[in-house]
Structure 1
Amino acid sequence: MHRRTRLAAGLAVLATALTATTATASTPPLPGNHSVAPVYAKAETPALFDDDAGNNSNADDPAIWYNSARPGSSLVLGTAKEGGLDVYRLDGSLLQSLPAPSAPAAGSAPGRFNNVDVLTGVRFPDGRRSDVAVVTDRGRDRVRFYRIDANRPAAPLTEVTDAAVPRAFSATEADVDDQYTAYGTAAWRDPRTGRSYLLASRRHTADVGLFEIRVTRTGTVTYQKVRTLTLPSTFRTPGGSWSPCEDPGNGPQIEGLTVDAARGVAYLGQEDVGIWKISANLTGTPELVDRTDQFGVPAVYDPVSDECVAGADPGYGGDHLVADAEGLTLFRAPSGRQYLIASSQGDYTYSVYDTSRGDRWTGAFRVASGPSIDGSEETDGIAATGQALGTAFPHGLFVAQDGYNAPASGDDGDRTDTNYKLVDLSDVLRAAGVR
């Protein structure tokens, strides 16, 4: 979610603490935290434009598909909202583009692909196991599936979504157009049972659903809801109780999701609140791992400005995440330790947590502008892997959505221009002090 200005009182404070940067002469100055160590992208994907001329395409969330037979031919998948799902080579070039569904009727919302993850080792009726891309269609409130075939290098993804796939959250098709629909996602296979699952959050709410993924006899893929969890929307603080300020009728939503299948643990990014940890099957009590800077700050929605106007900061928030807390991803470092990376969208940085040591914060980094590739700002989704990906990324890969791709486009630089940045994971480890 691209975050509009919400906390008017906090912006003045932020402006004094942060310096501005320009990626190119045509890019307007943007706020950002430049006190953390920089890394630089080795590759980037083509620009996407969120207008009619650009097919209403908008980069949001990436995933990395690891080609075990030919690691150098691994792929980056990226959602493009109404533009569908794009498939990129490791040099950032576009390999394949799969469209989102059109609107089923006049006045209805079209397909709008929000988040993507990769589920490995799905058994199909033809006797083969294949990896599958799992995509939330926020526009139609479905989850869609794409079988990945390394033997089809020119067009490796094929849609296998069952025609009768159910709505994820909406009771009726009319409810779908209200867009309280499937948003973030994470998919995994339970190592104990062999069953496959996905988590999907619900837009504009604090709800997360657990769904079991099933392959039909004809080779299509569907799912069935197991349960729903609603994260807290009101919190006790030393000053009383606090609720995040949202537009009327909305709750503090979750988008970033990632699952540690071996431990059966999920991490959930509640945008205004922080990062939660809970059992991946959505049982037990959620634990708040880290809070955003906005946590506990009183704010009131102003209908005239369509913003939340904040009061004085009582100091209950965290030190590492500047709201919104967005994309989450897990990776394993050469040391064998597992780390969680979180997008701190408000200051254009990424925080790293050691999940092998009680989710302790270990450091932060930013993707800065280099000689030929600009940095990343206002990042939504991220992905990382510690596996070697051939000669392109021999030490692993980090991918970040860039909400302000440079140079700015249009007569006044007013075309929404987004893409994905590809960074060597070893640079991330050094910048964040991780081993």
Structure 2
Amino acid sequence: MKRTRSLCSGVLALGTALAALTAPASASAHPGAPLPSVHPRAETPTLYDDEEGGNADADDPAIWRNPEDPGRSLVIATAKEGGLRVYDLAARPVQSLPAPVPARPGDAPGRFNNVDLVHGLRLPGGRADVAVTTDRGGDRLRVHRIAPGEGAAPLRDVTDPAAPRIFSADQDEANEQRTAYGLATWTDRRSHRSYALVSRRERTEIALLELLPTPSGTVSYRPVRTLRLPAAFRLPDGTSWTPCGDPGELPQVEGMVVDPATGTLYAAQEDVGIWRMRADLAGAPRLVDRVREFGVPAVHDEETGECLPGADPGFGGTRLAADVEGLTLLTGRDGRRYLLASSQGDDTFAVYRRDTGPRTPYAAGFRVAPGRGVDGSEECDGAAVLGAPLGRAYPHGLLVVQDGHDDTAEREGTNLKFVDLGEVLRRTGL
């Protein structure tokens, strides 16, 4: 097939064959206990996905720490058709970068979906930190060099104009929007090569791409391999189950993060759960937790566009409500390492241990509730944590979460909430 040839030199395929359910439900130290709440200190201006608001929609953040002046660090966030937005630690706008315009009338416009950082990427002019973004409209990666000394324009586009499409053979295929979606970056500590792991919208593929600086100072990439997660599952009662979606859609992945210490990729398949696998995609993935709705039969209602669930057979997890969305890493006060996941379906966040060998047990959970004149987080897509001092404002680090339902203005919009990481660690006991 054309998309296979354009995508990879080798494929590790689990395909749509039925996957055996081997991962146990996550541990529950205090089942049914109310979760603690943490409170944001600041929020970014609301973005609106409509003609009046410029079709901008806050989605996925990344936190860049300024090593020379941590108090002047930046939060870089995708705004979908609104491009990229850059904020200071007071959540004030610093820079707005537009998404690419359509190449031809009728083509999909640029749509920046997820963002992650690469530190110390080797460029012809020396090493630099860069922000890597998935452009869903063009089915490409976009790369921006971070140069804080440039004041109001700290990000500069250094994408190679000849960078290839990731999953599509051409723009006509990209217009179907089964294109680059979720994203995580990874630098292999042995080879020092940097990669992007990219998921595909409405499909189960994850692609591994090596980032390649060019002699002209731009950045391109080449496909290495892909992995295809299951789209159907064998349940303990011997039946099979496929998550319900719109006709033709498979259960997609968006939230992803790589543990750099172990080279482990965590990937959130939205209607299924959290997978753990090697970041080089060379091994078999393991499902380490499931959404509560896992195994629940459902029928798509064409009239409403909704999935109507049947009886719950009880095969789901206990901590995640579909969709499971943003994933990010944090370190506790005792030095233990954790994975944080956005449980979008019930507006909570689940935290798992990631330093216990093959297991990934549940450790804690919390909500981001209103406080200090700032509302809480609902329907959260993206989240990012940086556990290092960021000046006087965030001496213990920062958690940034997306609010997908900001209704404080006259119309509904989206924004980002800034939370003191020290409060998260205290309230959860991590």
Tell me the amino acid that sits aligned with residue 135 of structure 2: D
Contact 2:41 2:372 in 1 (8 A): no
The amino acid of 1:371's aligned partner reads: R
SS in 1 for 2:355: helix
Paired residues for 1:234-383 under 5 Å? 234-239=232-237, 240-357=239-356, 358-383=359-384
Residue of structure 2 equivalent to 1:28 = none
Question: What is the match of residue 10 of structure 1?
Answer: none
Tell me if the contact between 2:123 and 2:213 (Cα under 8 Å) persists in the aligned partners: yes
Alignment partner of 1:426 out of 417, 422, 425: 422
CA distance in 2, matches of 1:36, 1:106: 50
Does residue 227 in structure 1 map to residue 228 in structure 2? no
Larger mean Cα displacement after TM superposition, 305-314 or 321-330: 305-314
Comparing 129-138 with 422-431, greater Cα deviation is found at 422-431
Corresponding residue number in structure 1 for 2:385: 384
* Structure 1 letter corresponding to 2:334: S
8 A contact 2:271–2:323 mirrored in 1:
yes
Separation (CA, whole Å) in 1 of partners of 2:360 and 2:372: 35
Question: Is the CA contact 2:44–2:415 (under 8 Å) kept in the aligned structure 1?
Answer: yes
Give the gaps of 5 or more residues in structure 2. Answer: 1-31
Cα offset for 1:406? Answer: 3.3
Q: Which amino acid aligns with 2:332?
A: A
Aligned residue runs from structure 1 range 92-107, under 5 A: 92-107=91-106
- Aligned match of 1:64: 63
Give 1:154 deviation, angstroms: 2.2
Q: Secondary structure at the match of 1:63?
A: strand
Partner Cα separation in structure 2 for residue 371 and residue 261 of structure 1: 35
**Could you tell me how far 1:139 is from its partner in structure 2?**
1.1
Match of 2:25 in 1: none
Question: Take 1:100 and 1:185, find their aligned partners in 2: how far apart are those partners?
Answer: 17
Structure 2 residue aligned with 1:7? none
Aligned partner of 1:18 in structure 2 is none
CA distance in 1, matches of 2:361, 2:210: 31
| 1:398 partnered with 2:399 | yes
Q: Name the aligned partner's letter for residue 182 of structure 2.
A: G
Equivalent-residue separation in structure 2 for 1:34 and 1:82 (angstroms): 40
Is the CA contact 1:256–1:268 (under 8 Å) kept in the aligned structure 2?
A: yes
Instruction: Name which of 120, 124, 131 aligns with 2:129.
Output: 131
2:163 corresponds to which residue?
A: 165
Question: 1:185 is matched by which residue type in structure 2?
Answer: L
Partners of 1:252 and 1:271 within 8 A in 2: yes
Counterpart position of 2:11: none
Spell out, residue by residue over 1:71-92, the C-alpha distance to the aligned partner (whole angstroms, 9 max, x if none): 1111101100111000000000
**Inter-partner Cα distance in structure 2 for 1:426 and 1:371:** 16
Q: Is the 8 A contact 2:168 2:174 kept in 1?
A: yes
Residue identity opposite 1:396 in structure 2 = G
The code of the aligned residue for 1:148 comes to I
RMSD over aligned Cα atoms? 1.2
Give the Cα–Cα distance (whole angstroms) in 2 for the partners of residues 217 and 258 of structure 1: 29
Amino acid at match of 1:76: V
Q: Does 1:202 align with 2:203?
A: no
Does the aligned pair in 2 maintain the 1:364–1:431 contact within 8 Å? no
Rounded to whole Å, the distance in 2 between the matches of 1:97 and 1:49 is 15
CA distance in 2 between counterparts of 1:135 and 1:300 reads: 34
1:284 is matched by which residue type in structure 2?
G
What SS is found at the alignment partner of 2:119?
Answer: strand
Distance between the aligned counterparts of 1:392 and 1:130, measured in 2? 26
Cα distance between partner residues in 2 of 1:102 and 1:66: 30
Letter in 2 for 1:433: G
Equivalent residues of 2:186, 2:279 under 8 A apart = no
Which position in structure 2 is the counterpart of 1:48? 47
Q: Secondary structure at the match of 2:199?
A: strand
AA aligned to 1:156 is P
Match of 1:20 in 2: none
Residue 180 of structure 2 corresponds to residue 182 of structure 1 = yes
Shift of 1:34: 10
Q: C-alpha separation between the residues in 2 aligned to 1:382 and 1:193?
A: 29
Residue in 2 that maps onto 1:11: none
What is the Cα deviation at residue 405 of structure 1? 1.2
Per the alignment, residue 21 of structure 1 pairs with none
SS of residue in 1 equivalent to 2:217: coil
1:24 alignment counterpart = none
Q: Could you tell me how far apart the structure 2 residues matched to 1:149 and 1:160 are?
A: 12
For 1:172 and 1:130, the matched residues in 2 are separated by: 31
> C-alpha distance in 2, partners of 1:309/1:271?
17
Distance 1:156 1:37 in 2: 37
Identity %: 55
State whether residues 334 and 386 of structure 1, in contact with CA within 8 Å, keep that contact through their aligned partners in structure 2: no
1:62·1:116 contact (CA, 8 Å) conserved in 2? Answer: yes
1:155-184 CA-to-partner distances (Å, cap 9, x unmatched) read 110000001110011112100000000001
SS of the residue aligned with 2:148?
coil
Give how far 1:315 is off.
Answer: 0.6
